[in-house]
Amino acid sequence: MQFRLYEALAAGTIPVILKGHAAAGLAHVEVLGFKAIWVDSWREAPAAMLELLTNQTMQQELGLWQAHNSMQYARLMRMVRQMFAEAVCVMPAGASLTAGR
């Protein structure tokens, strides 16, 4: 289930998550600073999304959430690449995979 969350974030979308799934390992979404739409059931998801999309103020807010999530995802992936490289590669002191980016 978590890989779908990261697929959604990689695609630049705002994930829609069941509130009950927070206990099943998705609570870290908020801890990592991502914006998400939380619903009680999948049946209420279409109405919740329609309400957000028809609200002029929320349309602008959703655009900001999307940009925020894209930035957070890029930051997270840089951190993951760095941690992976440090775990499997011996890098010279002071070297960085993100240098020059």
> Which residues of the chain, if any, have pLDDT below 70?
1, 21-25, 90-92, 95-101
pLDDT at 59: 87
pLDDT at 47: 94
Q: What is the pTM of this model?
A: 0.73
pLDDT at 97: 63
pLDDT at 100: 57
What is each CA distance from 37 to 1, 40, 82, 83, 88, in whole angstroms? 16, 10, 30, 29, 36
What are the structural domain ranges in the chain?
2-88
pLDDT at 89: 75
